[in-house]
Structure 1
Amino acid sequence: MIALSLSTLAAAADAESQSNPVLNISIFLAFVAITLFIVIRASRNNATAADYYAGGRSFTGPQNGFAITGDYLSAASFLGIVGAIAINGYDGFLYSIGFLVAWLVALLLVAELMRNTGKFTMADVLSFRLKQRPVRMAAAATTLAVCFFYLLAQMAGAGGLVSLLLGINDKLGQSVVVAVVGGLMILYVLIGGMKGTTWVQIVKAFLLVGAAIAMTIWVLILNGFDLSRVLQSAVDNSVATPAVAILAPGLQYGSNPLDFISLSIALVLGTAGLPHVLMRFYTVPTAKEARRSVVWAIWLIGGFYLLTLVLGYGAAALVGSDTIQNAPGGVNSAAPLLALELGGPLLLGFVSAIAFATILAVVAGLTITAAASFAHDIYSNVIKKGKGDPDAEVKIARRTVVVIGVLAVLGGIGVQGQNIAFLVALAFAVAASANLPTILYSLYWKRFNTRGAVWSMVGGLAAAVLLIVFSPVMSGTPTSMLGADVNFAIFPLKNPGIVSIPLGFALGWLGTVTSQRQEDPELAAEMDVRSLTGHGAETATEH
């Protein structure tokens, strides 16, 4: 009986969503037009490198708080987590908890000190008192790697989302969708730079949080504001064995607790090493505004993650986990299908447009971070040894945007159907392994030196990437990127964090204690003063 009703619901949902392609595409195009207009308007004052990379440091604390929220609440938060809760219940909500706690770690230990010390990129901080060339090259490599893994997740979400919106089920159609998203992303960043990207983030944060609040209230109204009724309906529509397992720990990670521990470590520590989130703090003029933006971001992000619990179980209750898994986009279609169930094609189109805005805004932020890292760190400070022309640097950044966009499209086509929250967790593991140890050592350990920084970044990055390649993520299971027919998985865990993160810290310590090189004590003292007070951060020059 349940199976029959689920299949009927699936057919009805599919038919209803495809019966209004003109409506869906109109909402989609309207949103693209509005955000493109915002980007073009914001781009008129992009005259310098500071304008292109940091938005001219012209944003207020509340504005930057919304932009941080927009950067942090990616497709993984809206599509991936809601889908993970709908399918795996309690274990899916662990992503929400991990992402939220991770944000607090980033704020307490890293964010303000990074903003006070740096100029445009993470490498500005890491190389402040260390040898420029090797540290900047290693930091640029880790930044590009983290951004690439994160971009894969967003592209996976874009393909599934627009496929659901337009009723596209075949692989070729989804590939075309990913290519279109990549093209729009390149256009946004080329035109708008950080200023345009930030305004898109602000608009997207308003829409995303507003839609999540509205859908949560709607789900609760349908259930008499009784959360226990929502949970009971989710159990009734679950395909888990037993069905009540959706409310208990272990449905996804019960067979391998180490996988859960590894995932948790990566989630909690990863945010503090994400270059595109840390770069957001360079867009405010003072340390006071940075702190204000943090307060706004905490409230917005924390509130949103609480709403995902109702949205996830609401999707399981009203749509059914079997319907979600069989829809175009798979597990990532839970939130749009919930919107379809609540408000029909109009709400589906609106929520899908917001989710698409989420993807576009985040990929734009990631792309400009990666482009800034290559142009500012590699081209300007390594190749040109700090003597490059700022205009030429911005031109290099724009060319890098195109290259990154093409690579993101090719990678995004390969990861269609993967859970976005899971893919983002891999990016978090790479960030925590390659970036976080060096950031913390640079800010808090005076003896830390160049060898320790390079060993930590290169070793942590290599360990994380190799473990991912030789894990079940890549091969050996039906859900692997290469499928079950190809099997070279020798690492048993799906997330490498439990091994690669401690290794990154250990290599940083080992490289430092085995090196006789003493860094400049005056630069170390200057970094201490600047990180704690912000003095000189706005007029930072390369040494």
Structure 2
Amino acid sequence: MKLMTKLFGASALMGFANVVMAAGADLGQAEKQATNWTAIIMFIAFVIMTLFITKWAAAKTKSAADFYTGGGGITGFQNGLAIAGDYMSAASFLGISAAVMANGYDGLIYSIGFLVGWPVITFLMAERLRNLGRFTFADVAAYRFNQAPVRIFAATSTLVVVAFYLIAQMVGAGQLIKLLFGMEYWHAVIIVGALMMVYVLFGGMTATTWVQIIKACMLLAGASFMAFMVMAQFGFSFEALFARAVEIKAMVAGKDAKLIADATAAGKDVAAVAAAKGFSIMGPGSFIKDPISGISFGMALMFGTAGLPHIMMRFFTVPNAKEARKSVFWATTWIGYFYILTFIIGFGAIVLVSTNPDFLDAKGGLIGGGNMAAIHLANAVGGNLFLGFISAVAFATILAVVAGLTLSGASAVAHDLYATVIKKGNASSADELRISKITTVCLGIVAVILGITFEKQNIAFMVSLAFAIAASANFPVLFMSVLWKGVTTRGATIGGFLGLFSAVALTVVSPAIWEAVLLNPKGSALFPYTSPALFSMAIGFISIWFFSITDKSDRAAIDKAGFAAQKVRSETGIGASGASGH
């Protein structure tokens, strides 16, 4: 557990990035294992099944609307499952479980942080997104503004978020398959890139949606089985599971092992004894030790979720606002259930994996690194067959997320930049579709190259930065443009870009990058906190407000005058496609 201690011991070290290490640097420490043929067979079966779905979807993908949104014909329940599939990444499955295994109760902060962003989307965003937008979140943000500057900002922000997210997923895929399948790293990265391009190029949103739905069902089923098997060993008693986990964790850590054993033999409360000796995995404080880092970290998770372009894009796939609300309800249900399961899986890994010699290397650490806790637990509760299933699910998870990210990046270039800014709204559907597919190929190639380039790098901060950027740039512009009459084109554009740049800049000069990645002396970081969201979000919101109220141009008057019509459209759906179902 030495690596996990290093990852999680610092105060909120990169916040969300700690979790995403499951898909990145920690896996990079792993050596290739013996080929798992069960996993490979299940993986091939999944790929064949999804390629047939892509072939079916290709026949239905004729226009830009089909490519971006599946023609708007996906139901709320289907879209909710697809959103869950897009959101429940391998980082969540492997990383949260590993965080709980390493630090117990404190790992739950990630589950809660991810989940609490969804009420924001439910009550503030989902219905308005569907009523105001067509293909991308820029349709909403630029609804009453001068299109070109706001869309340039939105496309820039989307591509930055997608790039950091995409690199992390590609590196995670390569390292995961190298570990589990015995395949060369660069081979795995190329396979992921090629499959991603096939799904998106030929099937568009329809194929991507069904890949995400299938993957969500597989992941929920697999995690449910693991949690059930863990709880069954303790008579479905959380108290018994936690008590045993505290005992084992204390022994593994070498902290008063004899005292814990004596307490167990005497029938005393093991958790109380461990806590009295300064060691407890059932209390908070292991991850985030100062309030500012805690608040900033929580804001990034909450509001970053509401600003992720590939998540917001999913609300345009349903026929009306009513189905958009259903989407969020079902997505929140599945995501909340899944994060409860990861908590059980993490404690199960403490009990069933951390002291099992079959899963430990010569130094006493987990084979493949601490983030392989859930994979080893799958082997412990279900044998090699279930291990193969979970391995294939983890890979399918990355494929589904990568496809969604690529689609949002392609739409930003083709719809926001090409069709609206360059062609000024005069591009044909066929031309827009062609540019989307060219962009998909380019993004796929870039993702493969960057995935191979960053193989040995600590890339976890990239996903943390993606959430911070989404919270600092996309969310303030969306929130203010929809709910405040006074926002102008100048305010939205300058404020959005300042939020974007400040999130990137503050992260670069934080200890997590300045010291850990750039190897500057300890204590030399210009920004003392590892998560910039509290500050960069404030910069974004204040800048939008300031540059709007000081804008006395003719355009500002037009922007403000358009708010009434925007409000009617956002609240009622009148004028939106599919409004009849509202």
TM-score scaled by structure 1?
Answer: 0.89
| Cα distance in 1 between the residues matched to 2:110 and 2:455 | 20
Match of 1:209 among 220, 237, 246: 220
Residue equivalent to 1:220: 231
Partner of 1:14: none
> Partners of 2:458 and 2:352 in 1: how far apart?
23
Partner of 2:80: 65
Q: Does 1:123 align with 2:159?
A: no
What SS class does the counterpart of residue 511 from structure 2 fall into? coil
Deviations 1:42-78 (A, max 9, x none): 1211111100000011111111111111112122221
Moved more, 517-526 or 376-385: 517-526
Contact 1:476 1:489 (C-alpha < 8 Å) held by counterparts: yes
SS in 1 for 2:397: helix
1:46 aligns with 2:61: yes
Equivalent position SS for 1:320:
coil
| Offset at residue 221 of structure 1 (A) | 1.0
1:274 equivalenced with 2:308 (yes/no): yes
**Alignment of structure 1 residues 414-433 onto 2, 5 Å:** 414=454, 424-433=463-472
On the 8 A contact 1:207/1:354 being kept in 2, the answer is yes
Q: Output one character per residue of 1:276-303: Cα deviation in whole Å (capped at 9) or x when no partner.
A: 1111010111122222222222221111
- Whether contact under 8 Å (1:189, 1:367) holds in the other structure is yes
Match of 2:509 among 454, 470, 492: 470
5 Å-filtered alignment, 1:367-382, equals 367-382=406-421
Q: Closer, same or farther in 2 for the Cα pair 1:384/1:487, shift >3 Å?
A: farther
Structure 2 matches for 1:144-159, cutoff 5 A? 144-159=159-174
Q: Name the CA distance, whole Å, in 2 between partners of 1:225 and 1:464.
A: 44
Secondary structure (helix, strand or coil) at the match of 1:250 reads coil
2:337 corresponds to: 303
> 1:398 is aligned with what amino acid?
K
1:88 is matched with: 103
Alignment CA distance shift 1:229-1:160 (3 Å): farther
> Any conservation in 2 of the 1:66–1:296 contact (CA below 8 Å)?
yes
Residues 39-438 of structure 1: pairs in structure 2 closer than 5 A? 39-167=54-182, 173-238=184-249, 244-254=279-289, 256-320=290-354, 323=360, 326-327=365-366, 330-413=369-452, 414=454, 424-438=463-477
For 2:221 and 2:455, the matched residues in 1 are separated by: 29
Distance 1:99 1:370 in 2: 22
Paired with 1:452 and 1:329, the residues of 2 have a C-alpha distance of 49
> What residue is the counterpart of 1:6 in the other structure?
none
Show CA shifts across 1:184-237 (max 9, x none): 212211111001000111111111111111110011112222223322343344
Question: 1:529 Cα deviation (Å)?
Answer: 1.0
Across the two proteins, how many residue pairs are aligned to each other? 518
With structure 2 as the length reference, what TM-score do the two structures score? 0.83
Aligned-residue offset at 1:118? 0.6
Deviations 1:483-527 (A, max 9, x none): 679997432222211211111111111110111132245532221
Structure 2 CA distance for partners of 1:137 and 1:355, relative to 1, 3 Å: same
* SS class of match (2:280): helix
Aligned equivalent of 2:530, options 460, 485, 494: 494
C-alpha deviation, 1:167, in angstroms: 4.3
Q: Answer with 128-137 or 300-309: which moved more.
A: 300-309
User: How much identity, in percent, do the aligned residues show?
Assistant: 48
Query: Are the aligned partners of 2:40 and 2:392 in contact in 1 as well (CA < 8 Å)?
Result: no
Hey, what's the Cα distance between the residues in 2 that align with 1:328 and 1:51? 45
Unaligned 5+ runs, structure 2 = 3-31, 256-273
Distance 1:107 1:334 in 2: 33
Residues 138 and 150 of structure 2 are in contact (CA less than 8 Å); yes or no, is this contact kept in structure 1? yes
Aligned to 2:544: 508
Provide the C-alpha distance between the structure 1 equivalents of 2:367 and 2:202, rounded to a whole number of angstroms.
Answer: 32
Give the whole-Å Cα distance in 1 for the aligned partners of 2:561 and 2:547: 22
SS in 1 for 2:565: helix
CA distance in 2, matches of 1:27, 1:247: 37
Provide Cα deviations, 1:102-136, integer angstroms capped at 9, x if missing partner: 11112111111111101110111111100111000
RMSD over aligned CA atoms reads: 2.7
Secondary structure in structure 2 of the residue aligned to 1:225? coil
Q: Distance in 2 between matches of 1:227 and 1:506?
A: 46
Q: CA deviation at 1:39?
A: 1.6
- CA distance in 2 between counterparts of 1:487 and 1:393 reads 50
Structure 1 residues 530 and 483: CA distance shift in structure 2, 3 A? same
Q: Aligned partners of 1:403, 1:329: CA distance in 2, in Å?
A: 32
Give 1:415 shift.
6.2
Alpha-carbon separation, structure 1, partners of 2:319 and 2:352: 47
Secondary structure of the 1:47 match is coil
Equivalent residue number for residue 259 of structure 2: none
Indicate the structure (1 or 2) with the bigger Cα radius of gyration: 2
Aligned to 1:363, what secondary structure does the other structure show? Answer: helix
* Residue identity opposite 2:143 in structure 1: F
- Note closer, same or farther for the CA distance 1:59–1:514 as it changes in structure 2 (3 Å cut): same
**Is 1:519 paired with 2:558?**
yes
Aligned mates of 1:180, 1:329 — CA distance in 2: 21
In structure 2, what is the Cα distance between the partners aligned to 1:103 and 1:67?
A: 15
| One-letter identity of the residue aligned with 2:566 | M
The answer to whether the Cα contact below 8 Å between 1:233 and 1:318 also exists between their aligned partners in 2 is: no
Residues 97 and 374 in structure 2, CA contact (< 8 A), matched pair in contact too: yes
- Does the C-alpha gap of structure 1 residues 484 and 409 become closer, same or farther in structure 2, counting only changes over 3 Å? farther
The Cα shift of 1:40 comes to 1.7
- Deviations 1:16-52 (CA, angstroms, capped at 9, x unpaired): x955532222222121111122122112111111000
Distance 1:310 1:468, change over 3 A: same
Moved more, 128-137 or 411-420: 411-420
Partners of 2:60 and 2:66 within 8 A in 1: yes
2:488 touches 2:560 (CA, 8 Å); kept in 1?
Answer: no
Structure-2 change in CA distance of 1:185 and 1:416 (3 Å): farther
Give the Cα separation in 2 of the matches to 1:130 and 1:502.
Answer: 22
Q: 1:62 to 1:416 in 2, by over 3 A?
A: farther
Task: Report if the CA contact (8 A) 1:55-1:283 is conserved.
Answer: yes
Q: In 2 relative to 1, CA 240–134 (structure 1 residues): closer, same or farther, beyond 3 Å?
A: farther
1:390 to partner: Cα distance: 1.5
- Structure 1 residues 240, 178: CA separation in 2 closer, same or farther (over 3 Å shift)? farther
Letter in 1 for 2:349: A
Amino acid of the structure 1 residue aligned with 2:322: K
Paired with 1:123 and 1:329, the residues of 2 have a C-alpha distance of 41
